Amino acid sequence: MKLLQEKILKEGRIEGSDILKVDSFLNHQMDIDLLNEMGKEFKRRFKDKKITKILTIEASGIGISCIAAQYFNVPVVFAKKSDSRNLDKEVFESKVTSFTKGKDYIIKVSKRYLREEDDILIIDDFLANGQAIFGLKDIVKQAGSNLVGVGIVIEKGFQNGGKILRDSGIQLESLAIIKSLENNQIIFEEKKGEENK
Amino acid sequence: MKLLQEKILKEGRIEGSDILKVDSFLNHQMDIDLLNEMGKEFKRRFKDKKITKILTIEASGIGISCIAAQYFNVPVVFAKKSDSRNLDKEVFESKVTSFTKGKDYIIKVSKRYLREEDDILIIDDFLANGQAIFGLKDIVKQAGSNLVGVGIVIEKGFQNGGKILRDSGIQLESLAIIKSLENNQIIFEEKKGEENK
């Protein structure tokens, strides 16, 4: 998505060889006009699909999911993060390993809000190793819901989450795919996903 | 706000004498149509005010803030919660005591995203003792920004956060004010705030 790539080039800050900070518009301060354009683009990429609910994870997936949900006319459910597993029969839980934070945490979704008859689109801001998405996917499976696809704002194409998801046959749509952050330069992948309008 | 009161009566669940669960539409699953009506209502209540940014706190303030921001045409900044204070010169920090969780945490906002020239509207889902709002207010003060007002979805009128804020002269607009949850009954306060349309 051209507009997003331009914003990343203009405002993204590289740290080390693999961290891209986009907190001026995506995950600390949020540019609501850009979020709307991204929401429309997710709708375009999943336009023929039946979707009854968007599933995301706190905190930085919530903004884009709520804005995108307006184009799908569906509610949003966000998974909550917790340090500890307490045996709660009313929630679906999955363990997620965070490589960046070097620890495990548990994500939870109330059983009230995911049903067998739901067709789920997972949306999140970033995809790297894919651990958070695998956790959400596991929860969708526990609920017996149908996973329609995954929408990501920025995929780090040099990490393996995207490849694993695509190889498993899931429709993964990333609005921008970063090929490399080396030498303090942002290089986009232009091939994968649908066309980059 | 009538529509919100009706939704609370229909879907709110009372726990004990002071906990109201509204996770079917506000802070776990989110009803985006209702969020839009609430966003319009915030705009109506602050219609004559110059606002350049909405400030909220992760996680459950983010959804309503992003939707409301569309009516104000401003970006949203959300404060991040953290367990520990690490001395970071690039962030404004404030300590918040959570009565429900029985512990303190630190909230942080990057100095990049709050400026002296900003006119800030704080939005959050709940107001009880007001600790989170006092923390956000403290951060706005540190930044030298102008606090225009506070917009709350559900205020617990039987706790003292609202009184403290109103007594200090802040324009506090709560879309629904709960007077009592006793005897497993939800009673609304009809006087405070602007008219309940």
Summarised one tens digit per residue, pLDDT across range A17-74 is 899 999 999 999 999 999 999 999 999 999 999 999 999 999 999 999 999 999 999 9
The candidate with the shortest Cα–Cα distance to B72, out of B58, B57, B55, is B55
CA–CA separation, A127 and A162 (whole Å): 7
Please, which residues have CB within 8 angstroms of residue A87's CB and are 6 or more apart in sequence? Answer: none
pLDDT at A8 over 80: yes
B154, B174 Cβ separation under 8 angstroms: yes
Residue A121 pLDDT more than 90? yes
**Cβ distance of A58 and B63 shorter than 8 Å:** no
Instruction: Check pLDDT > 90 for residue A84.
Output: no
> Which amino acid, one-letter code, is at A42?
F
- In sequence order, the β-bridge partners of residue A187 are A180
Q: How far apart are CA B147 and CA B173, in angstroms?
A: 13
A62/B59 touch (CB, cutoff 8 Å), yes or no: yes
3-state SS class at B77? strand
pLDDT band of A191, cuts 50, 70, 90: low
User: SS3 string of chain A?
Assistant: CHHHHHHHHHHCEEECCCEEECCCCCCCEECHHHHHHHHHHHHHHCCCCCCCEEEEECCCCHHHHHHHHHHHCCCEEEEEEECCCCCCCCEEEEEEEECCCCEEEEEEEEHHHCCCCCEEEEEEEEECCCHHHHHHHHHHHHHCCEEEEEEEEEEECCCCHHHHHHHCCCCEEEEEEEEECHHHCCEECCCCCCCCC
Q: Residue B196 has what pLDDT?
A: 42
Are A30 and B66 a contacting pair at CB < 8 A?
A: yes
Residue of A26, A32, A91 to mutate, testing the B interface (most B Cβ within 10 Å of its Cβ): A32
Tokens found for residue B111:
């100095």
pLDDT tens-digit map of A93-107 = 999 998 777 889 999
What pLDDT, on the 0 to 100 scale, is given for residue B100? 74
Q: By three-state DSSP, how is residue B12 classified?
A: coil
- pLDDT-based confidence at residue A196 (cuts at 50, 70, 90): very low
pLDDT at B191: 64
Residues of chain B with pLDDT under 50: 193, 195-197
The DSSP element (H or E) to which B177 belongs, if any, is strand B172-180
The shortest C-alpha distance from A114 to chain B (Å) reads 10
- Interface test mutation site (partner A, options B11, B24, B29, max chain A beta carbons within 10 A): B29
Task: Check: CB of residue A194 under 8 Å from CB of residue A176.
Answer: no
Q: Which two tokens stand for residue A65?
A: 């999911």
| pLDDT higher than threshold 60 for residue A194 | no
Nearest chain B residue to A75 by CA: give it.
B31
pLDDT at A197: 43
Q: State whether A28 and B74 contact (CB < 8 Å).
A: no
- Residue pointed to by tokens 């649908």: A194
Counting every residue, how long is chain B? 197
The nearest alpha carbon in chain B to A36 belongs to B70
Chain B residues with CB under 8 Å of A28 CB are 77-78, 80, 109-110, 113
| pTM as predicted | 0.95
| Mean pLDDT for chain A overall | 94
Q: Test B66 with A67 for CB contact under 8 angstroms.
A: yes
B-chain CB neighbours of A75 within 8 Å are 25, 29-32
Contact list, B74 vs chain A (CB under 8 Å): 32
Calpha distance B35→B4 (Å, rounded) = 10
Q: What is the pLDDT of residues A164-190, one digit of tens each?
A: 999 999 999 999 999 999 999 999 998
